[in-house]
């Protein structure tokens, strides 16, 4: 189990609070209670920034000479396919959850229109944990391509491990190589994040909102984060995330991460879903900080939570799946 050593003793009195989160104002927070019964009313507000912007590593992970997904012909083909496919698999309506924890928020970006379905507290922040690793990888590969530097096999293996197996050591190496705080600041600047703040020399404690999380994922999906040479590779690695929440697949610095949103959507969509979750049991506040991030052809979704460690990892995975199940409908035949 991933567990961050406590810096301070923190306890919170239990209470019961019934909250209704109504988009699009995105201003209220779910705080002050461990037991929260949530009824989330979703709308389709426009997000200016989003609309304006977006085992060991396998030996077969070889550096691409160019990403076929990023060529003009491929982009035109995707646009044509998107225009012809049935209506987007989004449901604007009420998300009903019985949630025990300090915080839950979500955002969902329509990749065709730039619109966002979001909880009213979607601008409130929590720590990213391993969710940010996709940026650490993308930033390293883009900068290598821009400078003409060849990515070494060891570097690519670290990048793969950071995404597929959520390897903390691999992520830390990429973070330090990129300049530490400068890596997170580039993410904020390049992806147009407005709610995110860095934590000095500690990537996992970067504070990010659900709204910014979908902007980050769009930045990855549209090729801005990793650049034309590496975007296809990064998305492929995200589709290849492996492992469950089972204790035997969770270790101190790595862990299985194929759960959450992907478990709440139809199999036909799950097969091509690109994901990167983040999860840590934090002693300072006694909570799991658990986040789910997913990119599909049609939409991007993020769910961020904080809830008591005693509830277990699977609890948060189920919450992410439940939100996805209520927001995503099967595609029309």
User: pLDDT tens for residues 88-144?
Assistant: 344 444 688 999 999 999 999 999 999 999 999 999 999 999 999 999 999 999 999
pLDDT score of 87 more than 90: no
Residue 110 confidence (pLDDT): 95
Under the banding of pLDDT at 50, 70 and 90, the label for residue 9 is very low
Per-residue model confidence as pLDDT tens digits over 175-228: 999 999 999 999 999 999 999 999 999 999 999 999 999 999 999 999 999 999
The three-state DSSP-derived secondary structure of the chain is CCEECCCCCCCCCCCEEEEEEECCCCCCCCCCCCEEEEEEECCCCECHHHHHCCCCCCCCCCCCCCCHHHCHHHHHHHHHHHHHCCCCCCCCCEEEEEEECCEEEEEEEECCCCEEEECCCCCCCEECHHHHHHHHHHHHHHHHHHHCCCCCHHHHHHHHHHHHCCCHHHHHHHHHHCCCHHHHHHHHHHHCCCCCECCCCCHHHCEECHHHHHHHHHHHHCCCCCHHHHHHHHHHHHHCCCCCCCHHHECCCCECCCCCHHHHCCHHHHCCCEECCEEEEECCCCEEEEEEEEECCCEEEEEEEEEEHHHCHHHHHHHHHHHHHHHCCCCCC
Between 325 and 19, residue with greater pLDDT: 325
Between 43 and 213, the more confident residue is 213
Q: pTM of the full predicted structure?
A: 0.78
Give the confidence band of 64 by pLDDT, cuts at 50, 70, 90: low
Specify whether the CB–CB gap between 142 and 159 falls below 8 A: no
pLDDT of residue 149: 97
Q: Which two tokens stand for residue 221?
A: 């999906």
Determine whether 77 is exposed, middle or buried from the number of CB atoms within 10 Å of its CB (0-12, 13-18, 19+): exposed
DSSP strand pairing (35-41 vs 16-22): parallel
Establish whether the linkage from the previous residue to 24 is cis, with ω within 30° of 0: yes
Query: Is the pLDDT assigned to residue 70 strictly greater than 70?
Result: no
Q: Give pLDDT, residue 95.
A: 87
Contact 25, 122 (CB under 8 A): no
pLDDT band at 17 (very low <50, low <70, confident <90, very high): very low
Instruction: Please state, in angstroms and rounded to a whole number, the distance separating the CA atoms of residues 158 and 164.
Output: 10
Residue 322 CA neighbour count, 13 Å, CB half: 19
Q: What is the pLDDT of residue 79?
A: 42
Could you tell me which residues come within 8 angstroms of residue 151 by beta carbon, excluding any fewer than 6 positions away?
A: 63, 141, 144, 159
Query: Would residue 254 be called left, alpha or beta, if left means φ above 0 and alpha means ψ between -120 and 50 degrees?
Result: beta
Number of Cβ within 10 Å of residue 227's Cβ equals: 19
Tally of residues, the chain? 333
pLDDT at 259 over 60: yes
Tell me the pairing of strands 278-282 and 3-4: parallel
- List, in order of start, the domains of the chain with CATH numbers: 3-327 (3.40.710.10)
Name the residue with higher pLDDT: 277 or 9: 277
284 CB-side CA count, 13 A: 9
Integer-rounded Cα Rg, in Å, for the chain is: 19
């Amino acid at each position: 189990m991933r567990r961050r050593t406590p810096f301070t003793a923190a306890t919170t009195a239990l209470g019961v609070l019934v909250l209704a989160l109504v988009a699009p104002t995105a201003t209220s927070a779910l705080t002050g209670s461990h037991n929260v019964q949530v009824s989330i009313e979703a709308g389709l507000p426009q997000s200016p920034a989003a609309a304006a912007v977006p085992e060991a590593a396998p030996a077969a992970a070889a550096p691409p000479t160019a990403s076929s997904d990023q060529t003009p012909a491929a982009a035109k083909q995707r646009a044509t396919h998107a225009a012809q496919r049935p209506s987007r698999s989004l449901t604007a309506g009420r998300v009903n959850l019985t949630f025990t924890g300090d915080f839950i928020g979500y955002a969902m970006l329509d990749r065709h229109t730039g619109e966002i379905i979001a909880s009213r507290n979607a601008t409130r922040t929590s720590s990213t944990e391993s969710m940010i690793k996709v940026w650490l990888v993308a930033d390293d590969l883009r900068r290598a391509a821009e400078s003409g530097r060849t990515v070494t096999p060891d570097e690519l293996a670290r990048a793969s491990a950071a995404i597929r197996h959520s390897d903390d050591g691999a992520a830390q190496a990429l973070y330090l190589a990129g300049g530490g705080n400068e890596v997170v600041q580039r993410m904020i600047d390049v992806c147009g994040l407005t709610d995110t703040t860095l934590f000095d020399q500690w990537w996992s404690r970067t504070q990010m909102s659900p709204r910014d999380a979908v902007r980050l994922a769009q930045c990855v999906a549209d090729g801005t984060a990793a650049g034309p040479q590496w975007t296809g590779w990064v998305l492929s690695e995200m589709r290849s995330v492996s492992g469950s929440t089972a204790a035997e697949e969770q270790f101190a610095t790595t862990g299985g991460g194929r759960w959450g949103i992907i478990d709440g959507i139809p199999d036909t969509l799950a097969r091509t879903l690109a994901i990167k979750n983040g999860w840590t049991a934090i002693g300072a506040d006694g909570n799991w900080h658990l986040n789910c991030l997913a990119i599909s052809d049609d939409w991007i979704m993020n769910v961020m939570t904080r809830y008591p460690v005693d509830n277990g990892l699977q609890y948060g995975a189920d919450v992410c799946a439940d939100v996805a199940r209520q927001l995503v409908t099967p595609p029309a035949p």
